[in-house]
Structure 1
Amino acid sequence: MDPIANIGQQFAAHNYKLTPQREAIVKVLLDNEEEHLSVEDVYMRVKNSYPHLGLATVYRTLELLCELHIVEKMNFGDGVARYDLRGTDHAHMHHHLICNVCGRLEEIKDDWLLDLERRLEREYGFNVTDHRLDFKGTFNTCKRHGCKGDRKDKAVS
């Protein structure tokens, strides 16, 4: 199914409308899925199409997308809230490797915690509905070559 149509259905299921402005914001997130955009990043990319769209509208839309579990709001320790689309192909949010030296971020798409979730349910009667795990450390390339801080977001399967 088309991602925009799927998101439109999620909006409708909660009695919200996917307005053209909201759709433009969603498209920016879809077009930049490998990046973890801040409110300002989204605003700068969407204002070309909607020059009268305000920063507050972008912020409110991103918060609504979080409320509807379409995006995940995250902070990687730099004090900036970033937004990441939740994949429809996974029940949980993906995980991240965050380099303390250069700030590079890599995504881990595989869900390595399914066995732990089953154990939590079996041993504690606790049903995990979601989880997110961020690993902070240093990539070997930063240790060896002294990274210059070139932040790049990548996905790891």
Structure 2
Amino acid sequence: LWSLNNPDSYWTISIEPDKQKYDIANNIVFRVKSTADCYIIILNWNSKGEPFQLLPNRYESGNFIVRNKTYDLPSAESKFDLRVTGSKGEEKIKIIALRNRQDNVKLRNLIPIEDSFGSVSSRISILPKEKASKDDIEAKIINALKEMNRSDWATANCIVQIQ
């Protein structure tokens, strides 16, 4: 999934971190821009190599952006921060952009939402009954994208350095 791109797309999506390097406990903001109106899904891979959604998440379910506008995600108005935790290293970030609302719904249903923003202190957690393996999740996403009209989706990657 990380290396998947769509050279047949007539439009592009971009994602860049607001800084090149981050210290532990820093907040990360991504700048996102598309040349077409689209729905976006931002993925991160956890330490086990499993993809999960950074956006949309339980705090921000909207994921539609308009063309040629630069978005800061999370924005100053967002109800969440993306905070650097854990150890030093690289974080892989991928954005998938979809022109079609039905494709957006289909893909969102394949990707687990496992945000840790505040859930550590919660006394009640909602857990999936059965967790798919990282290979299963990635294969489902790739297969779903391959079934979609190639002019209706695009991807971009970035890597965040944690120091």
The normalised TM-score by structure 2 is 0.25
Higher relative contact order (CA 8 A, sep 6+): 2
Structure 1 or 2, whichever has the larger Rg, is: 1
The normalised TM-score by structure 1 is 0.26
Higher relative strand content: 2
Higher relative helix content: 1
